[in-house]
Amino acid sequence: MRKLVRYLGEYKLESVLGPLFKLLEASFELFVPLVMAQIIDIGIKNRDAAYILKMGGTLILLGVVGLVCALTAQYFAAKASVGFSTALRNDLFAHIGSLSYNEQDKVGTATLITRMTSDINQIQSGMNLALRLLLRSPFVVFGAMVMAFTVDVKAAMVFVVAIPALNVVVFGIMAFSMPLYKKVQRQLDHVTLATRENLTGARVIRAFNRQEDEVIRFDSSNDMLVRFQIFVGKISALMNPLTYVIINLAIVAVVWISGKQVDAGIITQGETVALVNYMSQILVELIKLANLIVSISKALACANRVGMVFEEKSSITDPAPGEVKRTEAFGAKVCFRQVDFQYQGAKEDSLSGIDFTVERGQTIGIIGGTGSGKSSLVNLIPRFYDVREGAVLVDGRDVREYPLQELRRKIGVVPQKAVLFQGTLRENMQWGKKDATDEEIYRALEIAQALEFVKSKEKGLELAIGQNGKNLSGGQRQRLTIARALVRQPEILIMDDSASALDFATDARLRKAIREGTQGMTVFIVSQRATTIRNADLILVLDDGQLVGRGTHQQLLQDCEIYREICLSQLSKEEVQ
């Protein structure tokens, strides 16, 4: 939490004024029992209506001034806490965006969503309450005790015993409940994960008629969350009855002692009422403090969880200025030199001994079975992951020596899963190039075989795209993501199995258009289809993370058994040749 307090830097004034006005309100509140004592001892005793009205007006004035102070404090506290959470959420979002795939995979999407939403909301709520009550409640408690001593020392000794006993109860329960709230938030991650999977996979769940199974799975996760919440709630619920017992015993003691003092003529009836009122104020403030401590416990637990995300540092960063060195690779556009790659936490390499060179303007086909490492290989070129051993070079420089923006400006990526964003078609295409003209966008759509269906929608580039492109078919989404990459006019185009939803005729037209419309562009095509990559200048065959074949279609048919088996399983003997 200490690391996050810096987000209050822009709200130092509000962070001071909020508690200050609360202390002013509390100060006026502490005078109320004394005014009541005067009303009883003078006004009521002497039946002086004018005095009662005068002191009653004083009570109203104290109440109005206290209300103004309370509203002012609430305004400043709200401004500071909302500004704090806004800045924190913005920085957390930016930090998550800076993390590499390794860190995002490690933390998990559901957990990151919970940190961004529920956790920061809890921190905001805890910060608001802390600014308003963290100083006020202790001030009233000890202020009431001091004021009690000004009334009668003997009766006030009850306060000296009661307040430490109450603190033991309150802070003891807080110390026990705080770790439990961390468990609650962790379980909330599991519920969020189950919810996210059900929402994103709704079609698959219905297709396999697994709705009831998913309901059972969600209920199990949710029930666990409820059990945790009930358990910690029971612990926290002990606070009210225990504090009430202590306070009421203290009130009995105050009445007993002050009653004897009244009989002896040492104090008055009004002062006895004032002592009881001060004890009641302590009760009210300790109940507030108890609720505050519960909220702060949740906020601290959530702050630690958010802090853990900030502690995750990206393993892929820009090189230091002195680390930039230029190495030559004989004019090659892309070069893999004895590359070994392993995912974080994996026991074995996903790629091993990968070594090949790609010349500028070549089309490279990459084929292999599921899990053979095709996507892993192309993800190393834009440096989404770093190699374990060896080096990946682009234009003669190790990708680790490039500033990330400079490297990725050279590369257009069409991911395996087509991802579009809510907005217009033009806005989605300009993800590839911010200042792309309509002419450039239409040219990219034409190459990607998407122009025909875009024109059929009759809205042109103002076509509304739903969230994740839900209002388009799978093939349409894939063609638009290809067009988005082509708008950038990259030096290197990576298509990671991005035409799997296209029919063979459209796929063939797409490959022809890319070959004719991307002169000088180095193209990597990852595919499960032999027809998609058969005309590539160089075909790489992967099997279990190893490069088992390289060459043209005809060369591999003769020299690579795995490639020959793939082709024979998909094509007729006439088509293979």
How far are the Cα atoms of 163, 234, 376 from residue 287, in angstroms, in the given order? Answer: 13, 16, 57
Nearest partner of 497 among 409, 363, 366, 358, judged by Cα: 366
| 343 and 427 in a common domain | yes
Q: What is the pLDDT of residues 481-511, one digit of tens each?
A: 999 999 988 899 999 888 777 777 888 888 8
Specify if 58 maps to a domain. no
DSSP-derived secondary structure letter, 463: P
Look at residue 278 in the predicted model and tell me its pLDDT: 85
| 430 and 464 in a common domain | yes
Look at residue 389 in the predicted model and tell me its pLDDT: 92
With a CB cutoff of 8 Å and minimum separation 6, the contacts of 135 are 19, 22, 23
Look at residue 335 in the predicted model and tell me its pLDDT: 93
| 346 and 269 in a common domain | no
Look at residue 323 in the predicted model and tell me its pLDDT: 55
Q: What is the pLDDT of residues 498-556, one digit of tens each?
A: 877 777 788 888 888 888 877 788 999 998 888 888 888 999 999 989 999 999 988 99
| 486 and 360 in a common domain | yes
Residues in a beta bridge with 547: 542
| 436 and 501 in a common domain | yes
Look at residues 311, 344, 362 and tell me which one is the last residue of a structural domain: 311
| 303 and 423 in a common domain | no
Look at residue 331 in the predicted model and tell me its pLDDT: 59
Look at residue 97 in the predicted model and tell me its pLDDT: 85
Tallying the residues shown for the chain, one arrives at 577
Specify if 263 maps to a domain. yes
Specify if 62 maps to a domain. no
Specify if 222 maps to a domain. yes
| 197 and 156 in a common domain | yes
Range of 471's domain? 322-576
Residues in a beta bridge with 549: 541
104 — alpha (psi -120 to 50), left (phi > 0) or beta? alpha
Q: Is the pLDDT of residue 329 over 50?
A: no
Q: Is the pLDDT of residue 324 over 60?
A: no
> Where is average pLDDT lowest: 53-57, 124-128, 235-239, 407-411?
235-239
| 459 and 354 in a common domain | yes
As a whole number of Å, the end-to-end CA separation of the chain is: 67
d(CA 173, CA 234): 11
With a CB cutoff of 8 Å and minimum separation 6, the contacts of 404 are 316, 317, 318, 383
> In this structure, are residues 539 and 553 in contact, taking their beta carbons and an 8 Å threshold?
yes
Token representation of residue 28? 């006026």
Q: Is the pLDDT of residue 151 over 60?
A: yes
- CATH number for the domain including 522? 3.40.50.300
Total domains in the fold of the chain? 2
Q: How confident is the model at residue 1 (pLDDT cuts 50, 70, 90)?
A: low
Highest-confidence range of 30-39, 94-103, 304-313, 382-391, by mean pLDDT?
382-391
Highest-confidence range of 15-19, 205-209, 230-234, 532-536, by mean pLDDT?
15-19
> Where is average pLDDT lowest: 16-20, 207-211, 356-360, 385-389?
207-211
Q: Is the pLDDT of residue 191 over 90?
A: no
CA angle centred on 125, ends 123 and 129, rounded to 5°: 115
Q: What is the pLDDT of residues 424-470, one digit of tens each?
A: 988 989 888 888 888 989 999 988 888 888 888 778 888 888 877 88
CA angle centred on 419, ends 415 and 424, rounded to 5°: 135
The mean pLDDT of 342-350, rounded to a whole number, is: 85
| 355 and 299 in a common domain | no
Q: What is the SS3 assignment for 38-81? A: HHHHHHHCCCCHHHHHHHHHHHHHHHHHHHHHHHHHHHHHHHHH
Answer positive or negative: Cα dihedral of 561, 562, 565, 571.
negative
With a CB cutoff of 8 Å and minimum separation 6, the contacts of 357 are 329, 330, 332, 334, 335, 336
Q: Look over the chain and give the mean of its residue pLDDT values, rounded to a whole number.
A: 85
Specify if 30 maps to a domain. no
- CATH number for the domain including 179? 1.20.1560.10
Look at residues 280, 311, 342 and tell me which one is the last residue of a structural domain: 311
- Torsions phi, psi of 355, nearest 5? -145, 115
Q: What is the SS3 assignment for 468-529? A: HHCCCCHHHHHHHHHHHHHHCCCCEEEEECCCCCCCHHHHHHHHHHHHHHCCCCEEEEECCC
d(CA 304, CA 272): 47
> In this structure, are residues 447 and 481 in contact, taking their beta carbons and an 8 Å threshold?
no
Look at residue 574 in the predicted model and tell me its pLDDT: 56
Q: How confident is the model at residue 575 (pLDDT cuts 50, 70, 90)?
A: low
Specify if 381 maps to a domain. yes
Look at residues 267, 284, 311 and tell me which one is the last residue of a structural domain: 311
Q: Is the pLDDT of residue 212 over 90?
A: no
Highest-confidence range of 64-73, 193-202, 414-423, by mean pLDDT?
64-73
d(CA 519, CA 536): 14
The mean pLDDT of 68-76, rounded to a whole number, is: 93
Which secondary structure element, helix H or strand E, spans residue 152, and what is its range?
A: none
Longest dimension (CA), the chain: 119
Specify if 146 maps to a domain. yes
Q: How many contiguous H segments (helices) and E segments (strands) does the chain have?
A: 22, 12
| 329 and 212 in a common domain | no
Specify if 60 maps to a domain. no
d(CA 497, CA 501): 9
DSSP-derived secondary structure letter, 420: -
150-156 long-range CB contacts below 8 Å, 24 or more apart?
151/37, 151/267, 151/271, 151/274, 151/275, 151/278, 152/258, 152/261, 152/266, 152/267, 152/271, 152/275, 154/257, 154/261, 155/254, 155/257, 155/258, 155/261, 155/267, 155/275, 156/275
d(CA 360, CA 341): 24
Look at residue 576 in the predicted model and tell me its pLDDT: 58
Please state the separation of Cα 63 from the chain's center in Å: 43
| 356 and 282 in a common domain | no
Answer positive or negative: Cα dihedral of 84, 86, 87, 91.
positive
Nearest partner of 152 among 261, 46, 260, judged by Cα: 261
Answer positive or negative: Cα dihedral of 329, 332, 335, 337.
negative
Look at residue 3 in the predicted model and tell me its pLDDT: 72
- Cβ burial of 334 (10 Å; 0-12, 13-18, 19+) is buried
Token representation of residue 179? 């770790």
Q: Give per-residue burial for 242-259: e unless 16+ CB within 10 Å, then b.
A: bbeebbeebbebbbebbe
- Cβ burial of 306 (10 Å; 0-12, 13-18, 19+) is buried
Nearest partner of 251 among 225, 233, 273, judged by Cα: 273
> In this structure, are residues 510 and 450 in contact, taking their beta carbons and an 8 Å threshold?
no
Query: What proportion of the chain, given as a percentage, has pLDDT over 70?
Result: 96
| 327 and 270 in a common domain | no
The mean pLDDT of 17-28, rounded to a whole number, is: 91
Nearest partner of 307 among 179, 130, 115, 101, judged by Cα: 115
DSSP-derived secondary structure letter, 8: G
DSSP-derived secondary structure letter, 342: -
Higher pLDDT among residues 71 and 474, named by residue: 71
